[in-house]
Chains A and B, each alone.
Chain A
């Protein structure tokens, strides 16, 4: 089957490092001003006030988080915001040693999906874990949000610094 493979011309890392290859570079000025939207707008406002909220679906009865204007399962309008606790359970996690550009981090980040108390089972959000030995993190671990002080909050998911173990 070799005859069906075009043996294209390949370059080594060194060819690039020594600039044996002609480059054109372009730095995009990618600036966007996003509207947070109806549901997430309220979510962010509540975060600024130090609260987590979900929404209720009148059709399936679930409490969903992150909040959404409509339940994607039932495709009906959700009918109201519901206060949630700022505690939850780790559904899954990773211990990440690299940045997006593969530069190694001095201290690993621990991203996790956390099911929030007060929402329906399995309703997780993405956040980080902190104040914990990475080796001690387990699926099923109980955690609580660590909030920024009120004057530092800006209406963003990062108003919660991270979640820490409950005990």
Chain B
């Protein structure tokens, strides 16, 4: 009786934690299997513990090359999409202009479209133009689909900004450039950083659009896709685990820094 009441009271918590476990489970599997020594070409069933893959993360032919390429594309795409997207976001929030509706739709549409449609249509463009598929076509595609997400992230931040801060800066004789650099940009920064991080993650992890427009160029997700057909090296799991750990580390450090900053601001 008491047990069933306890369960009823905590049903939401239990269900939520089960969902969380469902979301985390594959990451745990990826991590555990990075220490596996598989018997065949595929790393799907446990054989015995080994550190081999961690000792030679580039041991699988082509893996580190594809990883480097993915990082490079992600960095370039992030920089370009963040700049272009931030400019659009500022225009949308700070100015009135003709054609706002079409501009909003143009930004919304790429997010409301299955990736495969964008991928296929972009490929028809490149085929019709006779473009050489490879690094540049991937980069063009990535900038295109990251842009909208940057606009959304930055727009949200700029919208919640108090315009009086900029007026105050102007009243204190700050020029437009000075106001922008010293006041506007620092306040918009979290939105811009969020947009940039999102772009990086989207670009680095993109498979479908890249698969269509890469030609014979192999990014990291395409390497993983290919190895799902040919045989999965354990090093894939090492890369997956390392990415996970690095990202968690960044989040934890970021949290610690911001909470310390918050504390010192509170005490001073």
A in complex with B: no
Interface residues of B (CB under 8 A from A): none
